[in-house]
Chains A and B, each alone.
Chain A
Amino acid sequence: MIPLSWYLILSAALFSIGLFGVLSRRNAVAILLGIELMLNAVNINLVSFWRYGDVSMMAGQVFAIIVFAVAASEVAVGLALVISVYRSRNTVIADEIDLMKW
C-alpha cells in the first residue's frame, strides 16, 4: 500500500516546479502553464486527503471539482487577456507589457 507521504511529496515537488515556471518564464502563456501545474498539485493533495481520511466526507473531491471550475475559468479569462494584449501591443512577453509601470 502507498503511504500518504508519497502523494504529499509528489504534490509538493509538482507545486515547486510550477512555482519555478511562474517565476522564471517570460512568455505570459507559459506563466499560465506554470499556474496549471500548481493547481494540479493542489488537486492531488485534496484527493489524497479524501482517500486517506474519512471516505464518507466528500469535501476533498468536491473541492477538487471546484478547483477544476476555477482552473477552467482562469484559463479562459487569462488567455483572452493574453490575446487581447497581443492584439494591442503585439507581444506576449510579460516584461514588455509595462505600460502601467510608468
Chain B
Amino acid sequence: MTFTQIIFLVTAAVILGSALMVVSTRNLVHAALWLIVTLFGVAVLYAILNASFLAVVQVVVYIGAIAILFIFAIMLTRREMRDRGPQLNRGWWLNIIIAGLTFGGLFWMLQGWSGFSKAAADFPSGYDAVGQLGKALVSPTGFVLPFEVASVLLLAALVGAVYVAFARK
C-alpha cells in the first residue's frame, strides 16, 4: 500500500463519516459544519487527482460561499437555538433501504464495466492542466457556449434570489 493510497483512504473515511453526520445530526448548524468537512475532503480528493484549480475553487465556492449561505439560512429560519421534534421523516428506515439499493445498483453496474479498475496514466511531459482548462473554457472549439450559459444561469439565479428573498413592506 503506497502513501497516496493511505491518504486517499483517510480522506474517503473522513468524507463518508462526515457525510453521514450531515444527514443524521439533529443540530442543523452542526450539520452545515459537517458538510464543510465533507467539502474539504472532496477538495483534498481533487488535489490527489492533480486538479489543483478545482481543489481551490471547491474551497472558495463551496466553503467560502455555499456553506456560509447555509449557515446564514439556518440562523435566519429558526425560532430557537436548537430544533425540537423529530428531524427525520416517519419512513426513514425505508429510505435507508432505497439508498442502500441505489448504492448496490451503482456498484453492480460499475463492476461489470471493463474500465472499472483502470490505473491513471502519467501526465505527458510539460502538461499544464490549468492552462489547458483555461483554453478549453474560452476556445470556440471547446466549451465557450456551456461556459456562457453557466454565467447567464448565475445572473438569473442572482436576480431571482434577490427578488424572492426581498422583504416587501
CB within 8 Å of A: which of B107-156? 107, 110-111, 115-121, 123-124, 127, 129, 132-133, 136-137, 142-143, 146-147, 150-151, 153-154, 156
Residues of B within 8 A of A56 (CB): 124, 127, 132
Identify B77's interface contact among A17, A68, A86, CB under 8 A.
A86
Quote the shortest CB–CB distance from B119 to chain A (angstroms).
5
Number of A-B residue pairs with CB-CB distance less than 8 Å in the complex they form: 249
User: Are B110 and A47 in touch, CB under 8 angstroms?
Assistant: no
Residues of B within 8 A of A82 (CB): 73, 77
Interface residues on B, range: 35 or more
Identify A2's interface contact among B4, B73, B142, B158, CB under 8 A.
B4
Question: Number of A residues contacting the other chain (C-beta, 8 Å)?
Answer: 70
Quote the shortest CB–CB distance from A71 to chain B (angstroms).
7
Quote the shortest CB–CB distance from A33 to chain B (angstroms).
6
User: Are A58 and B16 in touch, CB under 8 angstroms?
Assistant: no
Residues of A within 8 A of B35 (CB): 33, 36-37
A94 to B167, CA, bound (A): 21
A14 to B42, CA, bound (A): 10
Residue of B62, B78, B83, B91 with most chain A CB atoms under a 10 A cut-off: B62
Residues of B within 8 A of A55 (CB): 121, 123-124, 127, 129
Is A69 located at the chain interface by the 8 A CB criterion? yes
Is A62 located at the chain interface by the 8 A CB criterion? yes
CB within 8 Å of B: which of A10-42? 10, 12-21, 23-27, 29-30, 32-34, 36-37, 40
User: Are B28 and A19 in touch, CB under 8 angstroms?
Assistant: no
User: Are B70 and A75 in touch, CB under 8 angstroms?
Assistant: yes
Contacts A16-B99, A72-B157 known; A62 to B137 CB distance under 8 Å?
Answer: yes
User: Are A58 and B133 in touch, CB under 8 angstroms?
Assistant: yes
User: Are B164 and A84 in touch, CB under 8 angstroms?
Assistant: yes
Is A65 located at the chain interface by the 8 A CB criterion? yes
Residues of A within 8 A of B118 (CB): 3-4, 52
A40 to B46, CA, bound (A): 11
